[in-house]
Structure 1
Amino acid sequence: MMIITDSASDITKQEAEEMDIRIVWLKTKFSDGDFPLKTEEDFIHFFDKLAEEKELPVTSQPSPEEFLQLYEEAKEKNEEVLVITLSSGLSGTVNAANLAKQMSEYEKIWIIDSEQAIVTQRFLVQKAVDMRAQGKNMEEIVAAIEDLKKRVTVCGMLDTLTYLKKGGRIPAALAVLGNVLQIKPVIELKDRELTMLGKARGRKGGVKYLWKEYESYEIDEKEPVYFGYTSDKEIGEKFMEETVEKYGLTNYHLYPVGGIIGTHVGPACVAISFVKKKKDEK
């Protein structure tokens, strides 16, 4: 079984090889050309460059041909293909994957719009990889991913309003005032899109807001909690350690967030993702 995802999952080239999956790369372009985002070092350099540039980089989805090349490879081996893409609310990547399936005229391709990105997209891909290793069939894996994508949630705290301003999401004057007052926006990936949950004063206030959000759900403790960060691993580790201690977590992981979503949120962000219980579970 070939498992394919895209680079909005922030799974690096090396990790993809270790997981035995294939990555289709979204492209990120600054004023002076394309910027690779295939390693953790690339992620670090990306945020350095993002801070220097006046304009945000442009992100473009993969072409159908990039998916088609992988489909043809699988078709030659009569291998089943599972594709888990970035949320359709953030990119047309899933459309490219579906168009490539039509072009391939190969039936053994299952395409899932993850409705997620960054660490939650990564979580779904990792779940598929684990289930493949357990010998689960395609129908079982697809059913599990379709269930989990509706229950997994990611919330994050931005360090600055600057990148929301650059992206045209808030007025410049509001960004300046907010930065002076140390306003930290708190966002959530909901209904396929990044939405504003609220705002807090200072990083401590932002962390408390994320904890409050975490506490508002019944958590499925069978699944791991994923933490994410942009640019500054120490900030990510501190947030993770405080959260682990507060809630007694035993199953958790920390991952960097790259430039596909990082473009819009900027450096020094932290995020937490978790899986909510099924509605019929107590």
Structure 2
Amino acid sequence: MSPVRIFTDSTCDLSDELIHKYQIEVVPLYVVFEELSLKDGVSIKPGRLFELVDETGKLPKTAAPSPIDFERAFEGAVQAGDDVVYIGLSSELSSTIQNASIAAANFPDDRVAVIDSRTLSTGIGLLALKAAHWAREGKSSSEIKTMIEAFRSHIEVEFIIDTLEYLHKGGRCSSVQHFLGSLLKIRPVVKVIDGAMTLTDKVRGKREKALQQLLDRALAQKDEMDTEFLFITHAMAAEEAAYVKEQIEQQTNIKQVYITETGCVVSSHCGPRTVGIVFAKK
């Protein structure tokens, strides 16, 4: 049985430290400002993304890696005698899975397994860490694919968005909604449901209230949490993320609580000061 190498894409929002520790390989998506096409996490970071949005007044477009990008990423592992398991951004949100599947078909004997995460951000990252753990245990690519596809429905991803500006620029809320939301200090709550981003609530009032509600909703499920990993994922909100981490560690028995920063693709949709909690249910 061939060794298994785990691949994901840049929307996994894992830190460089975790990517290195678990030997996960990352295929970047693209962030496009007019004629400028940049690789997420490679040639552009979130801080620069926010600067460019402020400078231009426009959001970038995002694009999936092409089938050729995936084929080039996978071929080194296959030529080295390894099997590949790729876990990518939900097919409800992007063509990454479709393009990875096209690339996988060019390799013989099912050497590349493609898995639709049905989630985003560190929801994907959490699945990638699970897959890497099972690969180290000697599981085959087909076993890992079966286990991840069974486990992915356990992933809970919820974000609190601080500003409606990016949703407005991206055409996801009208000018009237943007004006009223900003006037009333409304912060949307977004959850991943059936592979798609779904607005589940709107919190009116201070930012601290919205953050506490996000935390309370997660802690209400603490007895159902898988205790291996939990992520607090943020965009330019390190202080709030640290507070949430402290509360989670005090009130649950999660073994590893990680803080990570959202990459450019997620940040371009949600904007700065977004905070999310990501975990798996048992």
Q: TM over 0.5, yes or no?
A: yes
Is 1:261 paired with 2:266? yes
Alignment of 1:54-133 (within 5 A): 54-133=57-136
Which sits farther off after the overlay, 119-128 or 51-60? 51-60
Equivalent position of 1:45 in the other structure: 48
Question: Retained in 2: the 8 A contact 1:14–1:39?
Answer: no
Equivalent position of 1:280 in the other structure: none
Which of 227, 234, 258 in structure 2 is aligned with 1:229?
Answer: 234
For residues 250 and 195 of structure 1, the distance between their equivalents in structure 2, rounded to whole angstroms, comes to 29
Which of 4, 8, 23 in structure 2 is aligned with 1:5?
Answer: 8
Which sits farther off after the overlay, 193-202 or 172-181? 172-181
Which of 212, 218, 224 in structure 2 is aligned with 1:214?
Answer: 218
SS in 1 for 2:52: helix
- Aligned residue type for 1:101: A
For residues 10 and 225 of structure 1, the distance between their equivalents in structure 2, rounded to whole angstroms, comes to 13
- Aligned residue type for 2:275: V
For residues 15 and 53 of structure 1, the distance between their equivalents in structure 2, rounded to whole angstroms, comes to 33
**Cα pair distance change 1:235/1:219, threshold 3 Å:** same
Identity of aligned residues (%): 27
- Aligned residue type for 1:269: T
Question: Retained in 2: the 8 A contact 1:40–1:256?
Answer: no
Cα deviations across residues 48-68 of structure 1 (Å, max 9, x unaligned)? 323333111000111111111
Which sits farther off after the overlay, 149-158 or 123-132? 123-132
TM-score scaled by structure 1?
Answer: 0.89
Cα deviations across residues 62-110 of structure 1 (Å, max 9, x unaligned)? 1111111233323323321111111101101010111112233442221
CA RMSD of the aligned region, Å? Answer: 2.3
Alignment of 1:156-195 (within 5 A): 156-195=159-198
Question: Retained in 2: the 8 A contact 1:13–1:23?
Answer: no
Which sits farther off after the overlay, 173-182 or 130-139? 130-139
Equivalent position of 1:245 in the other structure: 250
SS in 2 for 1:222: strand
**Cα pair distance change 1:189/1:266, threshold 3 Å:** same
Question: Retained in 2: the 8 A contact 1:47–1:231?
Answer: no
SS in 2 for 1:264: helix
Runs (5+) with no aligned partner, structure 1: 278-282
**Cα pair distance change 1:169/1:92, threshold 3 Å:** same
**Cα pair distance change 1:102/1:135, threshold 3 Å:** closer
**Cα pair distance change 1:246/1:180, threshold 3 Å:** farther
Structure 1 position 11, deviation (Å): 3.5
**Cα pair distance change 1:12/1:236, threshold 3 Å:** closer
SS in 1 for 2:228: coil
Question: Retained in 2: the 8 A contact 1:28–1:58?
Answer: yes
SS in 2 for 1:207: helix
SS in 2 for 1:159: coil
**Cα pair distance change 1:159/1:261, threshold 3 Å:** same
Which of 271, 274, 277 in structure 2 is aligned with 1:272?
Answer: 277
Equivalent position of 1:144 in the other structure: 147
**Cα pair distance change 1:92/1:267, threshold 3 Å:** same
Question: Retained in 2: the 8 A contact 1:156–1:272?
Answer: yes
Question: Retained in 2: the 8 A contact 1:85–1:94?
Answer: yes
**Cα pair distance change 1:146/1:61, threshold 3 Å:** same
**Cα pair distance change 1:116/1:78, threshold 3 Å:** same
Which sits farther off after the overlay, 200-209 or 6-15? 6-15
Cα deviations across residues 98-148 of structure 1 (Å, max 9, x unaligned)? 111223344222110011111111111111112222333334322321122
**Cα pair distance change 1:79/1:70, threshold 3 Å:** same
Which sits farther off after the overlay, 212-221 or 226-235? 212-221
**Cα pair distance change 1:172/1:187, threshold 3 Å:** same
Equivalent position of 1:204 in the other structure: 208
For residues 117 and 108 of structure 1, the distance between their equivalents in structure 2, rounded to whole angstroms, comes to 25
